[in-house]
Amino acid sequence: MAFGLLSRLLGGRVLPERLRYEDAREVLEGHRNAAKRELAGREDAPPETLYYLACDDDSEVRGLVAANPSTPIHANELLRTDSEVEVREELARKIARLMPDMPRRERTTIQKRTVELLEKIAADEAPRVRAIVAREVARCPTIPKRLALRLARDVEISVCGPILQYSPLLSDEDLIELIATSRIQGAVDAIASRENLSARVSEAVIATLDVSSVAQLLANPSANIRENSLESVIAQAAGIEAWHLPLVMRTELSLRAVRRIATFVSRALIDELGRVHTLDEETSNWLKARAQERIEAESEPGRKPPARNAIKEAYAAGRLDDDVVTDAATTSQRASVVLALSLLTGVDIARIDKIVDARSGRGLTALCWKAGLSMRTALAVQTHIAHVSRDNLVLPRAGIDYPMEPDEMRWHLQYFGIEDGAS
């Protein structure tokens, strides 16, 4: 809805530059829409006139009143429940923009009513209205913390995202709780993007195993990530290409970390490792050797990784275990993992592919259980092969155990047409 300027361009100026009370009264008595719209946008309009116009039948008039900084608080309170979402949007934008200039304490009665009004607007049924509030107050330290938390827990990413990324009112404890409880796609990404993120919160982001969120964390130059946390990421990063570049660009990498990363990133990123980081001569020469090996491997015609043959050989020798399957999973060897699961369970490859394509965390977990593999392996398969979403990821109980009972796992197998859950 284009308020104010558009009305004046279309209808022309009706009221005199110096507005008198009699002029305002004449507009109300005349019932001319063009004049009412101009009056509704005038900051020198009498308060009682603006209150009267807040009940006008013309939604554009009410929208202009909602946007007018001179509108009295009782008219603003009336407009909060306006039937038109565009009117409530104008009100949300105006009220939210008052917050940065408002003191934290010793507020006047009007200021207190304004804060209470903002909290009510932040609970509006329309996500667009709530999103306006969130964008306007995201960096503001003077809003009530309860309001920041309400917005941070909103079910729409357009609302919670700005607060999660920018609000100075959220403590580390708040952020860690929000990471653990939020099921909104993009919420953890927003937290991972915060400036000067603490090591504790970074660890919580990494613990989600969410590819996008961890990539966002690694790409955040101001995020504090402890060495052991980085090592945990590096250990899982081989098959997750989205992590490769941001890992290479982390400035705090140890020489040991540089070498480990060089074993799985592309030749171009090996070169980037050497450019970005200050290396001793031995490590620099080692990187050059790895880059040369990668060039030779990539230029060899018809070269194919022997991964599938290695899976068959391991199975024939009775060595197809958690270590083999986890290594294949973390290096994104889907065909090898599917083959391993097929050999271990006796289930045909096409059916296993169907479970992987369905990104069913519970189905894959049950399949790994049937294969006699550990929950650690099941988590690797979910994360690196099927890329199961965070909402559907099945996590270990007590860090190591299968979280489902055998009967439940058999049910999930049967759902995909697999009988006999026992391996």
Within a domain: residue 45?
no
Contact between residue 229 and residue 204 where contact means Cβ atoms under 8 Å apart = no
Residue with the two structure tokens 């490769």:
244
Within a domain: residue 340?
yes
Within a domain: residue 258?
no
> What was the pLDDT predicted at 179?
95
Within a domain: residue 357?
yes
> What was the pLDDT predicted at 304?
46
> What was the pLDDT predicted at 355?
93
Q: Is 48 exposed, middle or buried (0-12, 13-18, 19+ CB in 10 A)?
A: middle
Within a domain: residue 344?
yes
Give the C-alpha separation, 279 to 286, whole Å.
10
Q: The domain containing residue 364 runs over which residues? A: 308-415
258-292: per-residue pLDDT in tens?
A: 988 888 888 888 888 888 888 888 888 888 887 77
> What was the pLDDT predicted at 290?
79
> What was the pLDDT predicted at 126?
97
Within a domain: residue 244?
no
Within a domain: residue 54?
no
> What was the pLDDT predicted at 328?
86
Counting as low any pLDDT under 50, the low residues of the chain are 1-11, 302-306, 421-423
Cα–Cα distances (Å) from 147 to 123, 133, 136, 151, 307, in that order, read 10, 10, 13, 6, 54
Quote the tokens at residue 121. Answer: 């607007």
Within a domain: residue 371?
yes
75-95: per-residue pLDDT in tens?
A: 999 999 999 999 999 999 999
Q: Tell me which amino acid residue 382 is.
A: Q
Q: How many domains does the chain have?
A: 1
